[in-house]
């Protein structure tokens, strides 16, 4: 058994204010330190600029600045924690992953490919699988119902599931974590049933 540890959601590693960034780095460092005795597969990391800040609204210069600040924060974590670069798995969120990919690539980080987020925000699944699966350490999957994510996989498109499973079969990695990121027991149980059916059909 291993654990994928989600770093704090209120850690804003790309915040424009240096004090806020340092506080965020320290929050993450403490979680890494506390979970070090566990067999950790990855530290799932959000690249965010602040509470309620929509990175999609940034200008080109703003995106570059955000990316640079996130690079600085991760670099600081690499210097002050025992986590290796590849243990940081930066998640696909509500903005184009290309905004943050240069940091992931430059520092040797990993990817958390949240295919539920891709569905919710309308990003092309096949493109992301082709571009990022080779660096993906964690996959998050969940259904989208009435504009809300983290629902049962009954609400994840069958064709998209086909694509995800085919990509995983074509590019197997025994260290990659497949997480059904679902927040109710009923939804989890129905999702587990669906995945068991899918596995039997492979």
pLDDT at 1: 82
Query: pLDDT of 162-179, one tens digit each?
Result: 999 999 999 999 999 999
At 9, give phi and psi (nearest 5°).
-70, -20
Strand 148-151 and strand 143-145: the pairing is antiparallel
Distance from first CA to last CA of the chain, Å, rounded?
24
Residue 202 reports pLDDT greater than 80: no
Q: List the structure tokens of 200.
A: 């039997």
pLDDT at 65: 98
Cα separation, 5 vs 77, whole angstroms:
15
Cα separation, 174 vs 164, whole angstroms:
16
Give mean pLDDT, residues 179-191.
96
Its pTM stands at 0.95
Residue 201 reports pLDDT greater than 80: no
Cα separation, 81 vs 134, whole angstroms:
25
Residue 148 reports pLDDT greater than 90: yes
Cα separation, 28 vs 88, whole angstroms:
11
Any bridge partners for residue 178, and if so which?
A: 139
Give mean pLDDT, residues 52-76.
98
- Do residues 180 and 142 lie in contact, with contact meaning Cβ atoms separated by under 8 Å? yes
Rg (CA), the chain: 17
Mean pLDDT (the chain) is: 96
Cα separation, 115 vs 167, whole angstroms:
12
């Amino acid at each position: 058994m291993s654990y994928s540890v989600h770093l704090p959601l209120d850690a804003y590693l790309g915040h424009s204010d240096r004090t806020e960034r340092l506080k965020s780095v320290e929050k993450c460092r403490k979680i890494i330190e506390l979970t070090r005795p566990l067999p950790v597969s990855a530290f799932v990391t959000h690249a965010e600029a602040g509470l309620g800040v929509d990175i999609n609204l940034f200008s080109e210069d703003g995106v570059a600045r955000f990316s640079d600040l996130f690079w600085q924060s991760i670099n600081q974590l690499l210097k002050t924690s025992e986590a290796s670069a590849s243990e940081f798995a930066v998640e696909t969120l509500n903005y184009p992953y290309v905004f943050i990919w240069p940091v992931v690539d430059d520092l040797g980080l990993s990817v958390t490919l949240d295919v539920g987020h891709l569905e919710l925000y309308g990003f092309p699944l096949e493109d992301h699988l082709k571009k990022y699966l080779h660096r993906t350490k964690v996959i998050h999957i969940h259904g989208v119902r009435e504009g809300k994510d983290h629902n049962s996989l009954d609400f994840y498109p069958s064709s998209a599931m086909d694509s995800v499973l085919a990509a995983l079969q074509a590019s197997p990695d025994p260290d990659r974590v497949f997480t059904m990121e679902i927040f109710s027991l009923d939804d989890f149980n129905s999702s587990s049933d669906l995945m068991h059916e899918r596995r039997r059909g492979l």
